[in-house]
Structure 1
Amino acid sequence: MFTRYVLPEVQVLLRVALSLTSQPADAEDLVQETLLRAYRSADRFDGRHPRAWLLTIMRNAEVNRHRRRRPHLLDDPDADLTRLSVAPDGAPPTPEEVVVGEQFDEVVDAAFAALPRQHQQVVRLVDVDGLTYAEAARLLGIPEGTVMSRLHRARKRIRIRLAAAGLAPKRGAL
């Protein structure tokens, strides 16, 4: 199966990886990681749309590579957020400014990184990749209710971190 579906796509993977990384060595590493992940999960692949499946794996691998390289995730995002939570003119930021602001991304990234691996998986599949609960459940080999439960807990933890950073209303404050 791996030979039939994956090997014909290697050249496409290399071209896409090079466009993502801009460095041939990094592109080769990304393709290698993609192929390894595909090989490990080949038993869960249904045989439909192999290119889309592989490109999704590649995208997730690239996101993880960037996440590992970002040193600001090691910093305390709350320290910067309290300093930046009020606009220079003293007016509180608009909701749009909060969401578009860099501090929001940093808090969400840190909250996501702090989630257990199982919760990260469902958030990535449902909220980032746009899979349905049923699709995510099939992909992970777990019941749909487990996906829903993990997603609820993960979103709650992220909301708590956002509220602690002053970027979302605390429960009951609406």
Structure 2
Amino acid sequence: MFVSEVVIERAIYGESEAQREIYEALYPRVYRLVRRIAGETDADDVSQDAFMQVLSKLDSYGGKSAFATWVHRVAVNQALQHVRSRSRHPAEPLYESSMTGHDTRGPAGLSELLDAAMHRIDVELRLVFQLKEIDGMAYAEIAQTVGIPEGTVASRMNRARRELQLQLIDLGWEP
């Protein structure tokens, strides 16, 4: 996941091999993040759009934060912009949102249940939860990535945990 300053410099000057290195190093993490914000259906497209933004704006990376943090910030902005655009033009869901009747005892069932619950909570809560609990970021890094104070990260984490628990129970999970 680490991208060296040399690779970044080479990518800024348009070297395609360096740009490919950046893409390959960071795409899996960006995809997971975008998928949690924008949803499974749109994750590929939004992730690609995010990397197009990253590569076109490389020269604006000032080195004030870790490069991966800067890339995450671009991806978060792209995903949130997509979600906002989609909410202005809602589409009918292709599946039933209720998980009733699904087996939640196995790992696959729990994963499906968590995904369904995650998509029922507010996108800002989902984002903070994803960055902390799934990507393992520290509160300070999340604050920098999302552009909010650390205290807000903490309060959103508390709300996300509460709301996720309520949604999980509503979907049939038994604690």
Shorter-chain TM band: 0.5 to 0.7
Residues 64-115 of structure 1, C-alpha deviations (whole Å, 9 max, x = no match): xxxxxxxx9832342233xx36xxxxxxxxxxxx251x22222211121122
Q: Is the 8 A contact 1:14 1:28 kept in 2?
A: no
Counterpart position of 1:34: 51
User: Which structure has the larger Rg?
Assistant: 1
Q: Is the 8 A contact 1:34 1:54 kept in 2?
A: no
One-letter code aligned to 2:19: V
Q: Is the 8 A contact 1:31 1:58 kept in 2?
A: no
Counterpart position of 1:46: 64
Counterpart position of 2:135: 129
RMSD between aligned residues: 4.3
Cα distance 1:164–1:107, how it changes in 2: closer, same or farther (>3 A)?
Answer: same
Count of residues paired in the alignment: 134
Cα distance 1:109–1:43, how it changes in 2: closer, same or farther (>3 A)?
Answer: same
Instruction: Please tell me whether residue 114 in structure 1 is matched to residue 120 in structure 2.
Output: yes
Counterpart position of 1:10: 19
Question: Which residues in structure 2 correspond to 1:86-97 (within 5 Å)?
Answer: none
Residues of 2 paired with 1:12 and 1:43: CA distance? 17
Residue range with higher mean Cα deviation, 143-152 or 108-117: 108-117
Partner-residue secondary structure (3-state), 2:99: helix
Cα distance 1:125–1:32, how it changes in 2: closer, same or farther (>3 A)?
Answer: same
Counterpart position of 1:105: 111
One-letter code aligned to 1:125: L
One-letter code aligned to 1:106: E
**Normalised by the size of structure 2, how large is the TM-score?**
0.55
Percent sequence identity is 22
Cα distance 1:166–1:110, how it changes in 2: closer, same or farther (>3 A)?
Answer: closer
Q: Which has the higher contact order (CA 8 A, sep 6+)?
A: 2
Counterpart position of 1:76: 97
Residues 29-58 of structure 1, C-alpha deviations (whole Å, 9 max, x = no match): 855531315739x5686354x3x4588689
Instruction: Please tell me whether residue 163 in structure 1 is matched to residue 169 in structure 2.
Output: yes
Q: Which runs of 5+ in 2 are unaligned?
A: 1-7, 32-43, 80-92
Higher helix share: 1
